[in-house]
Each structure stands twice: as structure tokens, then as C-alpha cells.
Structure 1
Amino acid sequence: MRRAVVTSAATAAGVVLLLSLKPHEAAGPAPVIGSGPGTGAGQGTAADSGTGSGSEVSAPSNAPAPSASAPASVSASASAPAAGATRKVSGDTVNTRYGPVQVQVTLAGSRITAVDVVKYPSAERRDREINTSALPVLNQEAIAAQSARIDVVSGATYTSDGYVRSLQSALDRAKG
């Protein structure tokens, strides 16, 4: 009986300590979000905590690189073919639980050469942390897959879903 009481007290104390821990910021150099001119840069970690009020950040892709605390544009580029005219097609703005997501696709013929994320949840610090990590992964996957059939980023499920839906609408618009 005495062991049960001691074990229960130790377990309760351990749970209280675990719940009181706060995550720390990752140390080291800040990751680069994309490549090419007009690319936003920032830092963060990927884990969707589900916080945010859903405000949006919108900026032209030729804007100067913004500060790390509020990226204005997130993009990724692949080497574009020399032949064929490039065109940009915007996808629908998809409202997610934490804010709107919209992408703009750059196409050379029917090939995806770049994806710019025009709008994404960024009102809260946690939103920015999640999206500065998740959006480059989504951009790379979209360029590699050459379609909207990409996996969601763990920890950024709502943003990933909005990204895929906006990307698909842009690709549909480009065909028609």
C-alpha cells in the first residue's frame, strides 16, 4: 500500500513537471525558405499547434526580402526550361481553420517551375514558425511531383490542405 502511494505521488509530480515545460527555440543558423529573386526568408520549426487568428500576408513576388518575423512571400523555383513562355496562374484563396492560403504557380509550358505562396496564416508567432518550415517543403514537393498530388506536412495539416486545394485550382485554371 505504501508503494502505491509513493508511486502515485511520483507519477503526479512527473506529469506536473512535464506539463510545465515550455518548448525552447531551436539553436543554429536560420534555414533559407526558398531560392531565387523575391524569395522571403525566415526561420522556424514545423509543428502545427493550431493557434492563430487567420490574418494573411500578401506581397508581390518581386518584393524585397522581409524580416524573419513576418515573411511576405514564400517561393521555391526549379530550373526553368529555356524554350517556352512562362506564365503565372493564381489559385483560389482557400480559407482554412487558421487563415487563408493562396498560391501562384509559374509554368513554362505545362511544367511547374515555381510556386509562390501569396497568402498563408501568419497572425501568431506560432503560425509563422509552422509556415516558414512547412511551405518550402510543400513547394519542393509540388515542383518534384509536377502536380497537386503531394503529401501533407506533419504538424501543418490545415495549411497543407489549403495549399493543395489552391494549387489544384491554379493548375485547373492553367489547363482551361
Structure 2
Amino acid sequence: MRRITIWLLSTVTALVLLFSYRTSTMGVGGGTSAVAVDRGGATPGTGDTSTGPPTGDSGSTGDSGDSGGGRYDGSVAQTRWGPVQVRITVAGGRITDVTALQVPDGNFRDQQINDYAVPILRQAALTAQSARIDTVSGATVTSDGYRESLQAAIDAAHLR
């Protein structure tokens, strides 16, 4: 009888420990991200402190129908690890800035990946002046979502 009791308690303890184990993809891992994620306020690093009305998917905060200038939001790309959305700033028919409005940040590893990948994707988009940019190694899902949202923003701005 004593052996059965010990075996039962050991089994229950093992099951409780097994089901309480939290993986890295199950929630917030803490820490802060260095990626500038604009939540509808100023565009980081530009000194622009104006706040416009919230925009929806492929919305425009710039001149509608004119690719001369303004800010254009891409659609929200739903990826495996979370939503990705970018905003482009257009001046003189050229993309002058790309800001990540949303990137996956559900845990510390997502933040690490995006701290590395988003600046590379931004620079590639500014250089290419299009959504035809390379995938960042180790950030395939974010890169795919970034390209999708970037293309929607470019379409909204009526650029090439």
C-alpha cells in the first residue's frame, strides 16, 4: 500500500510540473525592445510630434490620391508570431522613412529578433524604394509580414 501511495504522489507531482512548464512562446518574457514601434503618435527620430487620426488598413495620413507626400500605413500582416504593420513617409514621390507600427513582441526572443531585423528591413526598403527586399536571416516570418505591409503602404501611396 505504501509503494502505491508513493508512486501515485510521484506521478501527480510529475504531471503538475509538466503542465506548468512555460515555453518561450507562451507569453511575455520581460524586457523591453529597442525597436521603435509607433503606436499612432510621433514618428520616432523625426521630431514630428503631430498626432493624426488613427488609420485603418492601407489608410493614409497624407494627401489622398497624390504620391507627392504624406504618411501611408500598410495593412496589418497577420504572421505566425504576431501582427506586422509599417508606415511609410513619402516626399517628392520617394519613400523617405519606414516606421514599424507593429511587430511581434510576445516574448523576449521576438524582441531580440526584431531589434536586429527591423532596422535592416527599414534600410533595405529605403534603398530599394520598393517592397522587393531580401529576407533577414533568422527573421523570415517578420520579413514576410514586413514586405506584405510595405507593399500595401506603397500601393496606398500610389507609388510604382
Q: Tell me the TM-score normalised to structure 2 length.
A: 0.60
**TM-aligned CA distance change 1:149 to 1:52, over 3 Å:** farther
CA distance in structure 1 between the partners assigned to 2:118 and 2:78 by the alignment? 16
Contact 2:38 2:99 in 1 (8 A): no
Q: Percent identity?
A: 48
Deviation by residue 1:87-117 (Cα, 9 ceiling, x = unmatched): 0000000000000000000001320000000
Q: Secondary structure at the match of 2:157?
A: helix
Give the deviation of 1:143 after TM superposition.
Answer: 0.1
The corresponding residue for 1:127 is 110
Relative to structure 1, the CA distance from residue 110 to residue 85 in structure 2 (aligned partners, 3 Å threshold; closer, same or farther) is: closer
Contact 1:89–1:174 (CA<8 Å) still a contact in 2? yes
Cα gap change, 1:147 to 1:63, in 2 (>3 Å): closer
Pairing 1:1-176 to 2, within 5 Å after superposition? 51=25, 59-62=39-42, 86-175=69-158
- 1:35 is matched with which residue? none
What secondary structure, in the 3-state scheme, does the structure 2 residue paired with 1:175 have?
coil
What CA RMSD, in Å, does the superposition of the two structures yield over aligned residues? 2.6
Unaligned runs of 5+ in 1: 1-49, 66-83
Greater Rg, structure 1 or structure 2?
2
Is this contact kept in 1: 2:39–2:101, CA < 8 A?
yes
Counterpart-to-counterpart distance in 1, 2:72 and 2:43 = 18
Q: Is the alpha carbon distance of 1:94 and 1:53 closer, same or farther for their aligned partners in structure 2, counting shifts above 3 Å?
A: farther
Whole-angstrom distance in 2 between the partners of 1:85 and 1:52? 44
Structure 1 Cα separation of the partners of residues 26 and 140 of structure 2:
14
1:30 match: none
Could you list the structure 1 runs, at least 4 aligned residues long, displaced by more than 2 angstroms after superposition.
50-54
Cα 1:53–1:88, aligned 2, differ >3 Å: closer, same or farther?
A: farther
CA–CA distance in structure 1, aligned partners of residues 25 and 39 of structure 2:
23
Residue 40 of structure 1 corresponds to which residue in structure 2?
Answer: none
Closer, same or farther: CA 172–127 of 1 in aligned 2, 3 Å: same
Question: Per-residue deviation at 1:86?
Answer: 3.1
* Residues 52 and 127 in structure 1, CA contact (< 8 A), matched pair in contact too: no
